[in-house]
A and B are shown apart, each in its own frame.
Chain A
């Protein structure tokens, strides 16, 4: 896995999206912010991202559907990307487990701050590059 550099943030809440973009950009990452599910899925498959931050409650296409399209039914359209699910919605257990099994992390947005997110991204980076 390459070091994390390019990040796609699929987030419909402008305030939250801008917040992550600001903090991640300051930390040296290149961030594309996309606010709709459909556009997000297109971007994820058209461009090579090292990390995808995926919201669940999105317009047009839900995060669960995007994750399924990218990594459902045994396929993996983004083998070189890591996916972090970021949500504030308290999903039922089955849906949560299903997402966790396909993603590299599952976080409650209200529980983490941008600085904490950075720590998590760094630890993801160490884990995956360390495993090579």
Chain B
């Protein structure tokens, strides 16, 4: 039967004393027998006999010492091993093997198991003590006006205060609840910081904890501090500042604009569509002057849909939601798809469009629909601000790593004093307000779109002689590598571009 833990020592002491006494008795008997034999039978010298027996006993005792240790000291060795195993010693000691039945009988196995149980429960207590909900630090954390989250070197949340955007996972740990942009997220920054930095800081703006439309959606500015050798294995501290009150109305506006656009686009689709049907079906019946009216209707309806696209894009751009997906495109294909509508617009306004596009241009990296809007806007401007029978000339040519596209008109031109303001939102010259209709959003969004491609836009104008607008688009082969890394997003190109766009928040998406 196994010995109880409480009796282990008594049992072991008895065993040890008994074993040592047995050995001593054995030695005494052996010594006495040998003395008798040497004295009585061999008649040897008594002094010699004493030395001989003492030497013999000493030798035997030395030989027996390891055995004595093995019996008496072995439990101490096993217990030491078990304690070393559960200690925080950096040198990992393997656990002792106590599976032999003799350990179970002697109670040693139960002792070792008790050591393990004590170690596990004390670890729990230590962890609980760490997460103690009392104490001034915890009070400060619980009442802090911003979220505070600590991450360990594995990127796991080890501490978060109640208002931090985290949620419990199934394994009862905590997980961050922040929807970073794919191209600029916490993991990417952290991976880079780990590779190259000892300390680093990073700020993100407008990071939401859930998708739009969710109840209780919060939007944060997030500050992250990285410290490679942080205490208690805490590598990253995140501070989240709830900016929902400032940011949410923007998103609501965005939703409103998207909904309003949807409502407006419905009737425009019908007007454009039915005009298109009627134009097709009535063509043989219409008098030339009636056809002109029909064309004007079509052009106006088409302009309306263009304005709505501009409003949507400006709204997205202002809220950092304009994202482009650049693909390899032939400029000539894009122009061809726009040509019929543009030609009709020119015809109804009595302008002549002249395309001078070389057929052997390299392909460009462009977001087709956005670039179409730029071309539409610039050619529209050329048509608007020139006179009857005026020419609007569109050219394209290779310029270094870019293709430069220009739109030239020979109209009223722009006074040099206001050229600098042309690309501002809602900017329209005093005179053009009186003469020509428009929203003042066209050039603003053109600049945003072109710079989001990594290109640039410019204007040259002489008042009374006309204006030339030009912009550049990257040649596909020069940016193909960068696009590949970014799932065809434009972030890499924007980073490379010079000027204000580099620090503009738009490249976050």
Q: How far is the CA of A13 from the CA of B269 in the complex (A)?
A: 10
CB-CB < 8 A to A57: which residues of B? 262
Best-surrounded residue of B262, B273, B309 (most CB of chain A within 10 A): B273
B236-271 interface with A by 8 A CB criterion: 257-258, 261-262, 265-266, 268-270
- A22 near B277 with CB under 8 A, answer yes
Main secondary structure of the interface of A (DSSP, over half): helix
Complex: chain A residue closest to B308, CB-CB? A110
Asked if B214 CB lies within 8 Å of chain A CBs, one says no
- A111 near B276 with CB under 8 A, answer no
Asked if B81 CB lies within 8 Å of chain A CBs, one says no
A110-B305, A114-B277 given; A89·B258 CB < 8 A: yes
A16-B269, A111-B305, A114-B276 given; A92·B212 CB < 8 A: yes
- B273 near A114 with CB under 8 A, answer yes
Contact of B258 among A13, A16, A90, A114 (CB under 8 A): A90
What is the size, in residues, of chain B's interface with A at 8 Å between Cβ atoms? 25
- B323 near A110 with CB under 8 A, answer no
CB-CB < 8 A to B273: which residues of A? 16, 19-20, 23, 113-114
Complex: chain B residue closest to A57, CB-CB? B262
Q: How far is the CA of A23 from the CA of B277 in the complex (A)?
A: 7
Q: How far is the CA of A113 from the CA of B312 in the complex (A)?
A: 20
CB-CB < 8 A to A68: which residues of B? none
Interface string of A81-118 (1 = CB under 8 A from B): 00000001111111000000000000011110111000
Complex: chain B residue closest to A20, CB-CB? B273
Interface string of B266-289 (1 = CB under 8 A from A): 101110111111001000000000
B493-509 interface with A by 8 A CB criterion: 509
CB-CB < 8 A to A110: which residues of B? 265, 268-269, 272, 305, 308
Contact of A113 among B257, B262, B265, B272 (CB under 8 A): B272
Contact of B270 among A16, A23, A94, A111 (CB under 8 A): A16
Best-surrounded residue of A13, A19, A111, A114 (most CB of chain B within 10 A): A111
CB distance from B18 to the nearest CB of A (A): 75
- A89 near B269 with CB under 8 A, answer no
Interface string of A11-30 (1 = CB under 8 A from B): 00101100110110000000
CB-CB < 8 A to B205: which residues of A? none
- B270 near A88 with CB under 8 A, answer no
CB-CB < 8 A to A113: which residues of B? 272-273, 275-276
B290-339 interface with A by 8 A CB criterion: 305, 308-309, 312, 321, 323
Size range of the chain A interface in the assembly: 20 to 34
Q: How far is the CA of A57 from the CA of B263 in the complex (A)?
A: 11
CB distance from A117 to the nearest CB of B (A): 9
CB-CB < 8 A to A111: which residues of B? 305, 309
CB distance from A35 to the nearest CB of B (A): 14
CB-CB < 8 A to A109: which residues of B? 265, 269
CB distance from B313 to the nearest CB of A (A): 9
- A19 near B277 with CB under 8 A, answer yes
A54-98 interface with B by 8 A CB criterion: 57, 88-94
Complex: chain B residue closest to A23, CB-CB? B277
Q: How far is the CA of A13 from the CA of B270 in the complex (A)?
A: 9
- B276 near A115 with CB under 8 A, answer yes
CB-CB < 8 A to A115: which residues of B? 276, 280
Q: How far is the CA of A111 from the CA of B273 in the complex (A)?
A: 10
- A93 near B323 with CB under 8 A, answer yes
Q: How far is the CA of A94 from the CA of B273 in the complex (A)?
A: 29
CB-CB < 8 A to B309: which residues of A? 108, 111
CB-CB < 8 A to B321: which residues of A? 92-93
A110-B268, A114-B277 given; A89·B262 CB < 8 A: yes
- A88 near B266 with CB under 8 A, answer yes
CB-CB < 8 A to B274: which residues of A? 15, 19
A1-51 interface with B by 8 A CB criterion: 13, 15-16, 19-20, 22-23
Complex: chain B residue closest to A111, CB-CB? B305
CB-CB < 8 A to B323: which residues of A? 93
Q: How far is the CA of A1 from the CA of B445 in the complex (A)?
A: 41
A19-B274, A114-B273, A114-B276 given; A108·B265 CB < 8 A: yes
Q: How far is the CA of A111 from the CA of B261 in the complex (A)?
A: 12
A16-B266, A110-B272 given; A88·B261 CB < 8 A: yes
Interface string of B34-58 (1 = CB under 8 A from A): 0000000000000000000000000
CB distance from B409 to the nearest CB of A (A): 25
CB-CB < 8 A to B308: which residues of A? 110
- B305 near A90 with CB under 8 A, answer no
CB-CB < 8 A to B258: which residues of A? 89-91
Complex: chain A residue closest to B182, CB-CB? A94
B190-213 interface with A by 8 A CB criterion: 211-212
CB-CB < 8 A to A108: which residues of B? 265, 309
Q: A19-B277, A111-B309 are in contact. List 4 more A-B contacts (CB 8 A).
A: A109-B269, A110-B305, A111-B305, A115-B276
Residues of A with Cβ closer than 8 Å to B?
Answer: 13, 15-16, 19-20, 22-23, 57, 88-94, 108-111, 113-115
4 closest A-B pairs by CB: A88-B265, A113-B276, A110-B265, A110-B305
Residues of B with Cβ closer than 8 Å to A?
Answer: 211-212, 257-258, 261-262, 265-266, 268-270, 272-277, 280, 305, 308-309, 312, 321, 323, 509
Would you give 10 A-B contacts (Cβ < 8 Å), ordered by A?
A13-B266, A13-B269, A16-B273, A19-B277, A57-B262, A90-B257, A90-B261, A90-B312, A110-B268, A113-B273
